[in-house]
Structure 1
């Protein structure tokens, strides 16, 4: 990490020697760090089961309700931008502990909020925790992971996120089932939707307690001149073999590293480097296809087209299971088939499924309350299309974009460019999330048609602008390497 709130994971502290560590300690430690991703997913999706109840409880318009759902993303953007600076001042473990406290405060505050605006405030606080977790977990894992298993350990973050989404939706379903519906009283005179938020206190406490059991990053310890502590941590991870060599490598890396800055993204002639725009566009397309509409609003969506609340919960849980399974498929296949082919296939699949949903909703008859009614085969078709959309996204644009962002940027600007692209992703996520309730009221067919257009455009964007990074060394991503390749082609 740097004082600018970014980090560079371009090289492991262990180098590339496959014999330097068994990896068992690193796997355990990385698994604890990845719990931040679990809370990231849990906090992001937990509001799904509560959206309808919140709207009824506080009698708000669709626009205000959309802002309430998306409010956590504002906190996430702020948390992501400041996590690096806090981590450099206080340490990686301190950021994890702070994130756990923020999640706990959000769980209690949102669950007990007497009005919508306090609910929004506590959701923003939870969003800060999401932002912290989204940055610190992959950074910490990159800094403690042996090079030979760094990719697999890094993928724990994405797996933890989708697992957190599944668990939060499952908890929402079970609480609503026990109470009768999300609006009904459950325990202690509190409605089921409030307990959906309160239950997040459990994983928040678990995350905080487990954070007490793992060591500080050796890289941070060396950077803050705590060499004896760094030596003890490295001994735990490596044993005595190559301990001094690894410690020396960390010190030399820190000495030569130049803290990344936003200024690094600009060309000497002005404007951003083209690869920076490509990274930003990847992030924006990933969100503009509307994937988070499925995970934030799916209950509202299925209720709007005729399913009862219980069936809507079941559909949502099934969708989250599908998301986990296809993420595992992506992790297993990305190094075999390559990044670009998966993106192209994903774009085609998303375009077809989203267009199908747009046609089904756009041609549906309208009920007395103005919502579309899916008669006959229309309901099953929409349900199948929605889940196939998740399949297409989960095996491609979901995990692959993050891999490409880590591999595509030149070494000199990688950290700053990653931060810039991630910020763009949070903003795009917020725009989609805050706008969907109003779009739903206008026309679900139009909403899904718009997402289909972005999926269609993403196909041509990948074909024209995205280059394959499968098997490429990170050093091949430098501007100098590009110039050398261009000269050879000439």
Structure 2
């Protein structure tokens, strides 16, 4: 690419990637908007701990289904039409949840919203990867994770604004409780996503897949003016042929509980990412801080700050991952999470039980607050983005798509388990709950130390070979080497 074409090429492709990443924003927004509404929903619908947890977590079941069907729909209908389907689901869920008459009604609309999240979680990164030149794919692909964190922050900020405007989440604005407006405002980003999708070009890969090579050439010539369109089209045809062969011959079956060891590595990475309890912070933090003595307005403000911290550390992770490497960052993150979660468990063990719940007296409240944000920092700079990097590197071409689907499914299921169990577990014992998360963080350190090699600077083929050899025990004593 010569100097004269670098700037316009970059600006056009970056624009497409940013537009595609709006799906990630909706992913983060819809999954976290419930944070400020949890306590109000429990009160208004007279829910117990278990049903509250299910109402919050049930969207994740929709996510799993949406993620499974998104790829097939995208290959049948195209990437852009599926984005529009996701937009419609988001809008319908926002309206339905905001106007829900009861908990069953709310659960149904949360599932519908989950379908939209699942679709966005697959289509946004796929579209960005397929529209980006190879030399920019890594950086532009990271926009998806950044957009998710911005969506989380936007949801937490929106919740705080509505709660403060009304006086509390259960008070009314214009005849509707503030918690209902927290859901209804999701119509705005959902509508924006749909309008943006209408203006996006279809993915060149999809066009070639459907035999519409000339339209794909037009996209390349408009958005990749410094690239050879014939070479790009040839690369896509080769990639499609490789994928077709992988679907025909690739299998996940293996000797370890029915799966290949490398597949289990992906599953375990995904489960550890969720079992440290990160989504408890983004789904329940406002209720948590209120329950231990912080005023509701302060609890909302704390959640907003936590969302902002999450954005900042994601930017740090993007900057460091190709410089420092995957393994050192993951190990450091595991240590930081284990220590901060242990401190949270200790802090909550000092709480005094009152008629309204636990109360953190003296310095224990600020200590728990600082520890929670250190936990978010440790996760956001390591296990948050880097697990997705590793999942894209460790699987052989022949099983990559299938194995990624299994690993992503494991993430949704693990997320569901943590989210649905937090209310009853925390009601029983907050120290025990955070102690369990701390144990999983410590185990994640051991897993990386013993099993995961450094894949920085290696090709995809070399990376998956390294992981596969370690998974099969071909390299004993791997924990001692960097």
After TM superposition, give the deviation of residue 179 of structure 1 in Å.
0.7
Q: Deviations over 1:89-121 (max 9, x none)?
A: 100111111000000000000000111111110
Query: Residue 471 of structure 1: which of 457, 460, 474 is its match?
Result: 457
Contact 1:55/1:65 (8 A) holds in 2: yes
- Runs of 4 or more consecutive aligned structure 1 residues displaced over 4 Å after TM superposition: 18-21, 478-483
Q: Find the counterpart in structure 2 of residue 43 from structure 1.
A: 30
Contact 1:20/1:238 (8 A) holds in 2: no
Please state whether the residue corresponding to 2:398 is helix, strand or coil. helix
Contact 1:348/1:456 (8 A) holds in 2: yes
Which aligned pairs between 1:275-290 and structure 2 lie closer than 5 A? 275-290=262-277
| 321 and 261 in structure 1: CA distance in 2 versus 1, 3 angstrom threshold | farther
Contact 1:412/1:478 (8 A) holds in 2: no
Q: Are 1:125 and 2:100 an aligned pair?
A: no
Q: Find the counterpart in structure 2 of residue 10 from structure 1.
A: none
Q: Deviations over 1:177-205 (max 9, x none)?
A: 11111101102x11110000000000000
Contact 1:261/1:416 (8 A) holds in 2: no
RMSD: 2.3
Q: Are 1:93 and 2:92 an aligned pair?
A: no
Q: Find the counterpart in structure 1 of residue 127 from structure 2.
A: 140
Q: Are 1:64 and 2:51 an aligned pair?
A: yes
Give the distance between the partners of 1:448 and 1:198, measured in 2 at CA.
32
Please state whether the residue corresponding to 2:9 is helix, strand or coil. coil
Q: Deviations over 1:331-350 (max 9, x none)?
A: 00111110010010001000
Give the distance between the partners of 1:148 and 1:400, measured in 2 at CA.
20
Give the distance between the partners of 1:194 and 1:482, measured in 2 at CA.
49
Q: Find the counterpart in structure 2 of residue 439 from structure 1.
A: 425
| 341 and 105 in structure 1: CA distance in 2 versus 1, 3 angstrom threshold | same
| 266 and 372 in structure 1: CA distance in 2 versus 1, 3 angstrom threshold | same
Q: Find the counterpart in structure 2 of residue 335 from structure 1.
A: 322
Q: Which runs of 5+ in 1 are unaligned?
A: 1-13
How many residue pairs get aligned? The number is 470
Contact 2:6/2:226 (8 A) holds in 1: no
Give the distance between the partners of 2:6 and 2:152, measured in 1 at CA.
36
Q: Find the counterpart in structure 1 of residue 176 from structure 2.
A: 190
Please state whether the residue corresponding to 1:366 is helix, strand or coil. strand
Give the distance between the partners of 1:240 and 1:329, measured in 2 at CA.
30
Query: Residue 306 of structure 2: which of 319, 331, 344 is its match?
Result: 319
| 405 and 374 in structure 1: CA distance in 2 versus 1, 3 angstrom threshold | same
After TM superposition, give the deviation of residue 227 of structure 1 in Å.
1.7
Contact 1:104/1:200 (8 A) holds in 2: yes
Q: Find the counterpart in structure 1 of residue 158 from structure 2.
A: 171
Contact 2:340/2:372 (8 A) holds in 1: yes
Contact 2:42/2:52 (8 A) holds in 1: yes
| 326 and 239 in structure 1: CA distance in 2 versus 1, 3 angstrom threshold | same
Please state whether the residue corresponding to 1:22 is helix, strand or coil. helix
Q: Find the counterpart in structure 2 of residue 401 from structure 1.
A: 387
After TM superposition, give the deviation of residue 216 of structure 1 in Å.
0.5
Q: Find the counterpart in structure 2 of residue 6 from structure 1.
A: none
After TM superposition, give the deviation of residue 271 of structure 1 in Å.
2.7
Give the distance between the partners of 1:231 and 1:263, measured in 2 at CA.
31
| 147 and 241 in structure 1: CA distance in 2 versus 1, 3 angstrom threshold | closer
After TM superposition, give the deviation of residue 256 of structure 1 in Å.
3.5
Q: Are 1:417 and 2:419 an aligned pair?
A: no
Give the distance between the partners of 1:481 and 1:374, measured in 2 at CA.
45
After TM superposition, give the deviation of residue 144 of structure 1 in Å.
1.1
Q: Find the counterpart in structure 2 of residue 384 from structure 1.
A: 370
Give the distance between the partners of 1:241 and 1:293, measured in 2 at CA.
45
Query: Residue 437 of structure 2: which of 426, 451, 461 is its match?
Result: 451
Give the distance between the partners of 1:482 and 1:75, measured in 2 at CA.
32
Q: Are 1:223 and 2:209 an aligned pair?
A: yes
Query: Residue 352 of structure 2: which of 365, 379, 396 is its match?
Result: 365
TM-score, with normalisation over the residues of structure 1? 0.92
